Amino acid sequence: MKTQVAIIGGGPSGLLLAQLLHRHNIESVVLERKTKDYVLSRIRAGVLEQGLVKLMEEAGCADRLHAEGYEHDGTLLSYGDEMFRIDFTEHTGTPVIVYGQTEVTRDLYAAREKAGGLIEFNVDDVVIHGADSDAPYVTYRVDGEDRRLDCDFIAGCDGFHGVSRQTIPLDVRREYEKVYPFGWLGILSETPPVNHELIYANSPRGFALCSMRNENLSRYYIQCSLSDKPEDWTDEAFWQELKRRIPADQAARLVTGPSIEKSIAPLRSFVTEPMRWGRLFLCGDAAHIVPPTGAKGLNTAASDVHYLYHGLTDYYARGSTEGIDRYSEKALARVWKAERFSWWFSSMMHRYPDQSEFDLKMQVADLEFLRSNKAAQKAMAENYVGLPY
Ligand code: FAD
Ligand code: DHB
């Protein structure tokens, strides 16, 4: 089989890239290791920057997002019983949209299916060949049959554990990593959100986040130990712990109920450089991971897709290699800023096992400076709603 762009990974990066390329008459094939249902069962990000919303519009996939997503003009930060608000629209003129990654992915799958785009599910043993040559190809196995996909370019959209990054030789690739000494335990429950805006809480018992998907679907997270398992936490224990970490008036209003999903995610900052090797381009979690505080993971994947799709459309439309040649440099410049923001926000909001009294005072000073300083609020708001592409 032959295509123009072989896309490894059918998560949001791979699907969005495929759909955007399709709108410019560029053919692709998506290779996904899991089933569609499995991909759609993963509960992940919930906050979309305008940049991602615009890409979904360009992809022709934004109708449901506009109809069902919620515009948020600000967010709340608490420490102990103190709480303050960062106003996004006042400082940037831009809201964020609360709309789940699951729904983004569902809309992209629907668009690929409508357009007759080829997605191979349940693929195994994906191997990239000749990425540094003029004739790259991908081999894989599906239904016990070995297949080969020849292409002009390969987009590695296969997440942190994929094969694409590993294909780049170690003497070319440089990796930067910070692992955090805690995880996030998240639940989804069919209950009304405790507040109409998100609450990020720094408490002596650890971080908590009150988020949502819609009026009757809440997403809550609490910082937990890396050794915890979801099954160690009954729903009752989760709700009790969450209530202890958010301001008392919010805790009193919290509506609890059975969880319909419960999972633990570790926290990591990770960047690989460069994001291009020959005809292979890394996109999204395949190239970088942020700790979730501030919801930059999916949004940073989207900005990579933006740079790559423009590079590829310029190449096919005008024969220009400038966009693809500068892809890694442009994507990484924005990636590192998202890394900085997510690291800073995580550092300010979590309890660390080895935190000294001095460190705790620094967190409070950081929060109180943010609370009282318009310039700091503006900087936070600009980062939260998304830096320009
Ligand atoms: P992925 O979504 O990981 O998609 C990669 C796809 O490639 C997957 O479907 C995978 O099955 C497939 N794949 C992997 N290996 C292969 C292979 N060898 N061959 C073929 N296919 C392959 N971000 C936030 O902003 N907020 C959150 O709350 C949040 N929660 C998260 C929770 C978890 C558990 C994780 C892992 C991430 C979370 N993120 C969150 C990050 C966000 O979800 C990611 O940044 C986003 O999914 C990146 O999209 P992607 O398409 O690049 O990668
Ligand atoms: C969500 C996750 C985040 O990491 C975040 O900062 C905000 C919202 C969420 O899943 O809703």
Q: What is the CATH number of the domain that holds 240?
A: 3.30.9.10
184 and 44 inside one domain: no
237 and 307 inside one domain: no
Phi, psi of 188 (to 5 degrees): -115, 135
Q: Which of 102, 211, 267, 380 to mutate to test the pocket of ligand 2 (most atoms within 8 A of CB)?
A: 211
Instruction: Give domain status of residue 77, yes or no.
Output: no
Q: Helix 297-318 vs helix 50-58: angle between axes, to the nearest 10 degrees? A: 40
Distances (CA, A) of 73 to 64, 90, 202, 207: 20, 8, 21, 22
12 lines ligand 1 (CB under 6 A): yes
104 and 250 inside one domain: no
Looking at the DSSP bridge assignments, the partners of residue 97 are 48, 71
Instruction: Give domain status of residue 254, yes or no.
Output: yes
Phi, psi of 62 (to 5 degrees): -105, 5
Kindly write down the DSSP assignment for every residue of 104-140, as one continuous string.
Answer: HHHHHHHHHHHTT-EEE-S-EEEEEE-TTSSS-EEEE
Q: How many helices (H) and strands (E) does the chain have?
A: 14, 20
Joined tokens for residue 79: 């420490």
322 and 286 inside one domain: yes
Q: Which ligand is nearest to the CA of 96?
A: 2
292 lines ligand 2 (CB under 6 A): yes
43 lines ligand 2 (CB under 6 A): no
Instruction: Give domain status of residue 304, yes or no.
Output: yes
46 lines ligand 2 (CB under 6 A): yes
Q: Which of 219, 261, 349 to mutate to test the pocket of ligand 2 (most atoms within 8 A of CB)?
A: 219
Q: What CATH code is carried by the domain that includes residue 31?
A: 3.50.50.60
Angle at 342 between CA 334 and CA 158, to 5 degrees: 65
The alpha-carbon radius of gyration of the chain (Å, integer) is 21
Tell how far the Cα of 353 is from the centroid of ligand 2, in angstroms.
Answer: 23
314 and 239 inside one domain: no
Indicate the pTM of the whole model.
0.98
- Which residue numbers are catalytic? 72, 200, 292, 296, 384
ipTM attached to this prediction? 0.97
Pairing label, strands 82-87, 199-202:
unpaired
Report pLDDT for 281: 98
45 lines ligand 2 (CB under 6 A): yes
Instruction: Give domain status of residue 332, yes or no.
Output: yes
Atom of ligand 1 nearest to the CA of 164: 18
3-class secondary-structure state, position 308 = helix
156 and 250 inside one domain: no
360 and 336 inside one domain: no
Tell how far the Cα of 285 is from the centroid of ligand 1, in angstroms.
Answer: 6
Question: If you take atom 2 of ligand 1, which residue's CA is the nearest one?
Answer: 11
Distances (CA, A) of 341 to 115, 232, 291, 293, 380: 37, 31, 10, 9, 8
Closest CA to 18 of 299, 331, 305: 305
Report pLDDT for 80: 87
Q: Which ligand is nearest to the CA of 46?
A: 2
Question: If you take atom 36 of ligand 1, which residue's CA is the nearest one?
Answer: 265
Question: pLDDT 10s digit of each residue in the chain, 389 long?
Answer: 999 999 999 999 999 999 999 999 999 999 999 999 999 999 899 999 999 999 999 999 999 999 999 999 999 999 988 999 999 999 999 999 999 999 999 999 999 999 999 999 999 999 999 999 999 999 999 999 999 999 999 999 999 999 999 999 999 999 999 999 999 999 999 999 999 999 999 999 999 999 999 999 999 999 999 999 999 999 999 999 999 999 999 999 999 999 999 999 999 999 999 999 999 999 999 999 999 999 999 999 999 999 999 999 999 999 999 999 999 999 999 999 999 999 999 999 999 999 999 999 999 999 999 999 999 999 999 999 999 99
Distances (CA, A) of 149 to 15, 55, 104, 157: 18, 27, 27, 16
Report pLDDT for 381: 98
Kindly write down the DSSP assignment for every residue of 216-271, as one continuous string.
Answer: TEEEEEEEE-TT--GGGS-HHHHHHHHHHHS-HHHHHH-----EEEEEEEEEEEEE
Instruction: Give domain status of residue 85, yes or no.
Output: no
Report pLDDT for 62: 98
Angle at 320 between CA 317 and CA 321, to 5 degrees: 125
Instruction: Give domain status of residue 158, yes or no.
Output: yes
Contact 211, 191 (CB under 8 A): no
210 and 307 inside one domain: no
Domain housing 11? 5-71+95-177+267-346
Report pLDDT for 307: 98
213 lines ligand 1 (CB under 6 A): no
Instruction: Give domain status of residue 57, yes or no.
Output: yes
Q: Which helix (H) or strand (E) holds 52?
A: helix 50-58
Tell how far the Cα of 173 is from the centroid of ligand 2, in angstroms.
Answer: 30
Tell how far the Cα of 223 is from the centroid of ligand 2, in angstroms.
Answer: 13
Instruction: Give domain status of residue 84, yes or no.
Output: no
Tell how far the Cα of 11 is from the centroid of ligand 1, in angstroms.
Answer: 6
Cα–Cα distance measured from residue 101 to residue 68, given in angstroms and rounded to the nearest whole number: 13
How many structural domains are present in the chain?
2
Contact 279, 154 (CB under 8 A): yes
169 and 275 inside one domain: yes
108 and 13 inside one domain: yes
Torsion of CA 264, 110, 385, 313, to 10 degrees: 120
Question: If you take atom 9 of ligand 1, which residue's CA is the nearest one?
Answer: 11
Tell how far the Cα of 369 is from the centroid of ligand 1, in angstroms.
Answer: 34
Atom of ligand 1 nearest to the CA of 304: 52
First to last CA, the chain: 34
9 and 107 inside one domain: yes
Closest CA to 202 of 359, 308, 335, 389: 359
197 and 152 inside one domain: no
Distances (CA, A) of 351 to 181, 201, 202, 245, 306: 9, 11, 8, 12, 35
